[in-house]
């Protein structure tokens, strides 16, 4: 199992390299911007910048997570990775579990990076962003669940034979979820998203166990 997890991590590193780097650059820019504003007017609220950054993240992360799921499954099919692995001492369930575990951890790392950055800034400049913790944290949690939902839909759609349909459906579903958030705000019930995650993962697992490799 460890070998499989290691292989999946290495494979996903290629995909995560660019967004990871982009996140770090964005976080540094974010920090510099807040610091700059704070330097000029330490007592005026600078939450507008945080909102802007928050919305950038909210629009960028879900498609990235859906893409990660799609990438895992499409790369598997293109390179016949599971077909090769299955001719060794492993099972479909183990291959899937390793892939899912690595994917979920990557989504969590990518998602929780931002609450960490926000928490750091809010701690550093508490007066500059009054009530920020109460405002951002629940939204970032919902965003994390949304990212997990998009990832789950991504791995499910990645199993479909037609790459164009898989990509189009991925973009469409992610757009719907983001639009829902944009319209309704972050009042979307997490339970609905969690239900979606469970349904998508169960269906992917069932499909992965039975599809020809």
Partner 1 sequence: MTENAVQIDNLVKYFDGRCVLDGIDLQIPPGCIYGLLGRNGSGKTTIIRILLGLDSPTRGQTLLFDRNSLQLSAHDRSRIGYVAEGHHLIQHYPVAKLIKLARGLAPHWDAELFDHLINTFRLPLDRKVKKLSTGMRAQLNLALALAANPELLILDDPTLGLDTIVRRQFLELAIDLIQKQGRTILFSSHILSDVERIADRIGILLAGKLVVDCPLDQLKNRVKKIRLIFPQSAPTDLHLTDIVSQQYDNHELILTVANWNQQKQNYLQTYNPTSITEIPLSLEDIFIECTNPNPATLTIEPQGDQPC
CA distance 131 to 134: 6
**Minimum CB distance to partner 1, residue 97 (Å):** 12
Alpha carbon of 15 to those of 21, 83, 102, 146: distances in Å? Answer: 11, 21, 12, 20
> Residue 55 or residue 84: which is nearer to partner 1 going by CB?
84
**Minimum CB distance to partner 1, residue 185 (Å):** 44
Q: Which residues of 88-119 are buried (b: 16+ CB within 10 A; e: fewer)?
A: eeeebebbbbbbbebbbebbeebbebbbebbe
**Minimum CB distance to partner 1, residue 166 (Å):** 21
> Residue 81 or residue 155: which is nearer to partner 1 going by CB?
81
> Residue 47 or residue 90: which is nearer to partner 1 going by CB?
90
CA distance 128 to 122: 8
> Footprint of partner 1 on this chain (CB under 8 A)?
2-4, 6-7, 79-81, 83-92, 94, 210, 212-213
> Residue 10 or residue 179: which is nearer to partner 1 going by CB?
10
Helix (H) or strand (E) holding 4: helix 2-40
CA distance 204 to 157: 8
Helix (H) or strand (E) holding 52: helix 47-78
Phi, psi of 86 (to 5 degrees): -70, -15
Phi, psi of 91 (to 5 degrees): -130, 165
> Residue 60 or residue 86: which is nearer to partner 1 going by CB?
86
**Minimum CB distance to partner 1, residue 93 (Å):** 10
Tokens of 82: 């599971």
> Residue 86 or residue 119: which is nearer to partner 1 going by CB?
86
**Minimum CB distance to partner 1, residue 66 (Å):** 23
**Minimum CB distance to partner 1, residue 92 (Å):** 8
């Amino acid at each position: 199992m460890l070998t499989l997890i290691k292989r999946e991590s290495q494979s996903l590193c290629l995909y995560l390299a660019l967004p990871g780097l982009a996140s770090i650059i964005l976080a540094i820019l974010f920090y510099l911007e807040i610091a700059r504003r704070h330097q000029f007017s330490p007592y005026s609220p600078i939450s507008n910048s945080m909102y802007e950054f928050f919305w950038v993240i909210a629009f960028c992360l879900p498609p990235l997570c859906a893409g990660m799921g799609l990438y895992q499954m499409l790369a598997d099919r293109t390179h016949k990775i599971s077909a090769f692995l299955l001719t060794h001492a492993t099972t479909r369930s183990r291959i899937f579990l390793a892939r899912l575990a690595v994917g979920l951890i990557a989504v969590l790392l990518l998602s929780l990076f931002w609450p960490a950055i926000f928490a750091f800034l809010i701690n550093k400049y508490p007066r500059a962003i009054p009530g920020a913790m109460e405002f951002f944290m629940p939204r970032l949690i919902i965003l994390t669940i949304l990212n997990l939902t998009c990832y789950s839909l991504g791995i499910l759609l990645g199993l479909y034979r037609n790459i164009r349909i898989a990509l189009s459906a991925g973009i469409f579903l992610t757009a719907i979820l983001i639009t829902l958030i944009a319209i309704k705000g972050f009042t979307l019930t997490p339970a609905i998203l969690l239900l979606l995650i469970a349904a998508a993962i169960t269906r992917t697992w069932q499909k992965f166990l039975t599809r020809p490799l």
